[in-house]
């Protein structure tokens, strides 16, 4: 357990110090975001459970996620064609714009969200993995300086898929792969409960 907490701190420090993207402009991002809004919502709040909401999740996180998409060698999700010609400035502007929007949130499934509290809150967690709030904040608002994204109000279907992808190794993140390490310790019930909790948190 101590090792996992150390990983989180190490990753946080690395992310803070390694940013190479310029500061973004909200105003410039308005026009550039038009094509993104078809999937991620006119106000950054996705209505399709397969696509994440981008409103307020973190400017640097969004910019670096776009940069990562640009580096993919496949046409997965159609993103590669969309982001292929974006400059670092474009990415920063998109991040700034979407981060300036308000996440309106959705409702959590009452059958599941209560069970997730033991995974979210350090005081009640069962010890199989660090509490999510350690990196993503006590109310799921994220940690912008460390580039840990906000998770509150995120589509539960999307969150479930990302956690399963981390667990399987389909998706990776961070220099030490902390999300892969954590996701592998989650049961299918953990993932379902966590995703529902995050969808409804305000």
Q: What is the pLDDT of residue 126?
A: 53
With contact defined as beta carbons under 8 Å apart, do 120 and 173 qualify? no
Average pLDDT, stretch 47-60? 93
Closest CA to 132 of 173, 71, 182: 182
Question: Cβ neighbours of residue 126 under 8 Å, at least 6 residues apart?
Answer: 118, 119
- Please say if the pLDDT value at position 2 is more than 70: no
Q: What is the pLDDT of residue 137?
A: 87
Please, what's the b/e burial string for 7-17 (b: 16 or more CB within 10 A of its CB; e: otherwise)?
A: bbeebbeebee
Q: Output the pTM of the full model.
A: 0.74
Least confident of 76-85, 86-95, 124-133, 143-152: 124-133
DSSP 71: T
Closest CA to 83 of 23, 149, 44, 32: 32
Distance CA 182, CA 188 (A): 13
Q: What is the pLDDT of residue 52?
A: 92
Q: Band the pLDDT of 21: cuts 50, 70, 90.
A: low
- Please say if the pLDDT value at position 187 is more than 60: yes
- Please say if the pLDDT value at position 118 is more than 70: no
Tokens representing 159 are 């969150």
DSSP 30: H
Q: What is the CA radius of gyration of the chain?
A: 16
Tell me how many degrees the CA angle 32-33-39 measures, rounded to the nearest 5: 145
Distance CA 159, CA 106 (A): 13
What mean pLDDT, rounded, does the chain reach?
80
Q: What is the pLDDT of residue 117?
A: 66
Average pLDDT, stretch 126-142? 77
- Please say if the pLDDT value at position 10 is more than 60: no
With contact defined as beta carbons under 8 Å apart, do 32 and 98 qualify? no
Q: What is the pLDDT of residue 184?
A: 92
Average pLDDT, stretch 142-164? 91
Q: Band the pLDDT of 13: cuts 50, 70, 90.
A: very low
With contact defined as beta carbons under 8 Å apart, do 65 and 156 qualify? no
> Which tops the pLDDT comparison, 109 or 73?
109
Q: What is the pLDDT of residue 134?
A: 84
């Amino acid at each position: 357990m101590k090792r996992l907490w150390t990983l989180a701190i190490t990753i946080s420090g690395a992310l803070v110090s390694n940013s190479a993207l310029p500061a973004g402009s909200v105003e410039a991002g308005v026009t550039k975001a038009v094509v993104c809004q078809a999937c991620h919502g006119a106000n950054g709040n996705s209505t399709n459970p397969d696509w994440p909401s981008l409103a307020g999740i973190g400017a640097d996180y969004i910019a670096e996620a776009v940069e990562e998409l640009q580096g993919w060698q496949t046409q997965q999700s159609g993103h590669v064609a969309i982001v292929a010609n974006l400059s670092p400035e474009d990415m920063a502007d998109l991040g700034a714009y979407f981060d300036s929007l308000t996440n309106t949130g959705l409702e959590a499934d009452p059958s599941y969200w209560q069970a997730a509290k033991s995974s979210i809150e350090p005081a009640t967690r069962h010890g199989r993995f660090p509490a999510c709030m350690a990196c993503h904040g006590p109310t799921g608002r994220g940690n912008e300086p460390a580039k840990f994204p906000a998770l509150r109000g995120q589509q539960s279907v999307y969150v479930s898929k990302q956690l399963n992808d981390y667990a399987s190794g389909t998706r990776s993140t961070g220099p030490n792969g902390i999300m892969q390490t954590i996701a592998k310790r989650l049961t299918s019930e953990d993932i379902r409960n966590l995703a529902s909790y995050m969808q409804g948190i305000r």
